[in-house]
Structure 1
């Protein structure tokens, strides 16, 4: 991006109403629909799950969509806007008029999000894509598609949830006080009343446990997940995770990736957070002083709020870039999100 493009962002008129879609309608996708509902600048018009999709140019209702999905297993049953399909994403892309999609999809297998990006490229669709992916290796796969995304006219914002995302951006800001950043330590606490509301997310977390990987976690039955959680009283403790905060901060020139660590605790049986989510950035100032900045999220904010809110803020920022002809791949550490009114 040129200096003229960056400085010109402040001269861009306010973004008009943005038609958005949500791919994936599990716990995160349903929460995303609720986050958009009161917004004036965004209208939720499209969503897809494994078995079907729904599209209404006048706007979908999150309550009725959630009821249909929970009772019948697919938005394809939503009358009169639903369509059952084994190629729901591809069909929705071709049918719906959407400015940007939030990819609230599980990255299982670890190549899945890159495959979705390729499907968008192949379709000829142009617009904004936002994901909330976790793994470094998954983001690295998207980095390999950077030129293809740019040529396709797609503005792709990756790692734009809570971590990576909100906390990565906070670390990038906190780093400005320092001449050298010595460490970035992200610690998260997540509390959910019932793991089944976030099955894919919990499986992705299990994949980070010692002795597990993405394929093993993906293959686990619900009963096997339950058995594992019974052994830990519903608690998942994660350390030194493969989290894309590292590559994102390295790409932004903040610090080498080996100075970034991510870990946390997930309680799958209690909505109260087991610990406060925070990021600590330690560095040396130009005066030679060693100091630590700490940014802590309020315990009352849920995982869904801290993932979906930033995702749509980045989607709005992506639309601003896209309408100025700026395409390609960007991370949460490179672009400031814009608040969606």
Structure 2
């Protein structure tokens, strides 16, 4: 992590805290890059919020911008029917370089959630570089999984700082929500022995989350990022037929390890992540949890377990934290604090 602090703004105006039912005259203007299953869920999560408004979104073939806010239902319907937000009436623009064009339009956007597939493994870092080179200043949040991908963002830390960008990385469910829970649970102990994250994901149809499922396949024995990226939909379906729709993942390359190590909590080799994904059933195959085992100052060995409710979906557990971290990032950015932060370093702020 590296930060730049503007000493003239150490006493900022706090983010507004409207009471229930009151309108927020200055909501945080949010953009979502990527409009697959996760991006569409993000639009739905933002719809009832008062403190944030979705003003921009982009997919591979186009983008949409509306200063007064994008209609999530119309945006999703247009994308599903025509394959791109570029066809959205009055707000859409077709483009083969949608992210770059959206950034260069200089439309007011306070922060972007990068709901993008990190395939290839260098993709998210390349998107961050586009923002750096454009001169845009604001907050970026990702929900990346792989340790190596987050390490690429760490390498960009000084450039992000110099560009006036506050970047929050690894801010989904895991890494993200569960990493932050582990960081908090660790406070009971004098020494951390292990952090074990186990997740269960249930989705009715893998095609709604194609990129996410391909990223999971990349963690299977005999597969890697490039092989998973190159698989056709038919090949993915054939693999899922072989496993009855179940993906069992063990000892994954998950950035929870490097994030907890950077936060000074535990060495990365004591962090393990694995889980089960059911691509044909919305019910979770097992409960998602994190177990933190350590020794207290009295010499007692104990384990804290934090378990997510089975009723919460993958999308809820990714998008909610992502926007909570985006709000926290905006608060930092308004104080003149720029650079790279992880979900284990900053507490998310609840978005009303």
Shorter-normalised TM-score: what interval? over 0.9
Q: Which residue of 2 aligns with 1:209?
A: 220
Q: Which residue of 2 aligns with 1:14?
A: 16
Q: Which residue of 2 aligns with 1:284?
A: 295
> What CA distance in whole angstroms lies between the structure 1 residues aligned with 2:277 and 2:15?
41
1:275-325 C-alpha deviation (Å, 9 max, x unpaired): 000000000000000000000000000000000000000000000000000
> What CA distance in whole angstroms lies between the structure 1 residues aligned with 2:4 and 2:305?
32
Q: Which residue of 1 aligns with 2:196?
A: 185
> Please, what is the CA RMSD of the aligned residues?
1.6
Q: 2:171 aligns with which of 143, 160, 163?
A: 160
Q: 1:272 aligns with which of 279, 283, 297?
A: 283
User: C-alpha displacement at 1:17, in angstroms?
Assistant: 1.1
> What CA distance in whole angstroms lies between the structure 2 residues aligned with 1:4 and 1:97?
22
User: C-alpha displacement at 1:14, in angstroms?
Assistant: 2.9
Alignment coverage as a number of residue pairs: 339
Is the Cα–Cα contact under 8 Å of residues 6 and 335 in structure 2 kept in the other structure? no
Q: Which residue of 1 aligns with 2:93?
A: 83
Q: Which residue of 2 aligns with 1:59?
A: 69
User: C-alpha displacement at 1:177, in angstroms?
Assistant: 0.3
**Stretches (4+) displaced over 2 A:** 1-5, 8-16
1:70 and 2:72 are equivalent in the alignment = no
Q: Which residue of 2 aligns with 1:315?
A: 326
User: C-alpha displacement at 1:112, in angstroms?
Assistant: 0.1
> What CA distance in whole angstroms lies between the structure 1 residues aligned with 2:336 and 2:287?
40
User: C-alpha displacement at 1:111, in angstroms?
Assistant: 0.1
Q: 1:222 aligns with which of 233, 258, 261?
A: 233
1:105 and 2:107 are equivalent in the alignment = no
Q: Which residue of 1 aligns with 2:210?
A: 199
Q: Which residue of 2 aligns with 1:49?
A: 59
> What CA distance in whole angstroms lies between the structure 2 residues aligned with 1:185 and 1:57?
43
> What CA distance in whole angstroms lies between the structure 2 residues aligned with 1:253 and 1:80?
49
1:152-179 C-alpha deviation (Å, 9 max, x unpaired): 0000000000000000000000000000
Is the Cα–Cα contact under 8 Å of residues 15 and 331 in structure 2 kept in the other structure? no
Q: Which residue of 2 aligns with 1:38?
A: 48
User: C-alpha displacement at 1:11, in angstroms?
Assistant: 7.3
SS of residue in 2 equivalent to 1:63? helix
Q: Which residue of 2 aligns with 1:26?
A: 36
User: C-alpha displacement at 1:4, in angstroms?
Assistant: 12
Q: 2:270 aligns with which of 259, 282, 285?
A: 259
User: C-alpha displacement at 1:69, in angstroms?
Assistant: 0.6
Is the Cα–Cα contact under 8 Å of residues 5 and 335 in structure 2 kept in the other structure? no
User: C-alpha displacement at 1:97, in angstroms?
Assistant: 1.1
SS of residue in 1 equivalent to 2:101? helix
> What CA distance in whole angstroms lies between the structure 1 residues aligned with 2:328 and 2:153?
19
Q: Which ranges in structure 1 are unaligned for 5 or more consecutive residues?
A: none
> What CA distance in whole angstroms lies between the structure 2 residues aligned with 1:126 and 1:29?
22
1:330 and 2:332 are equivalent in the alignment = no
Instruction: Decide whether aligned partners of structure 1 residues 123 and 294 sit closer, same or farther in structure 2, where only a CA change above 3 A counts.
Output: same
Q: Which residue of 2 aligns with 1:246?
A: 257
SS of residue in 1 equivalent to 2:244? coil
SS of residue in 2 equivalent to 1:129? strand
User: C-alpha displacement at 1:3, in angstroms?
Assistant: 11
> What CA distance in whole angstroms lies between the structure 2 residues aligned with 1:170 and 1:250?
14
Q: Which ranges in structure 2 are unaligned for 5 or more consecutive residues?
A: 18-25
Is the Cα–Cα contact under 8 Å of residues 120 and 225 in structure 2 kept in the other structure? yes
> What CA distance in whole angstroms lies between the structure 1 residues aligned with 2:237 and 2:73?
28
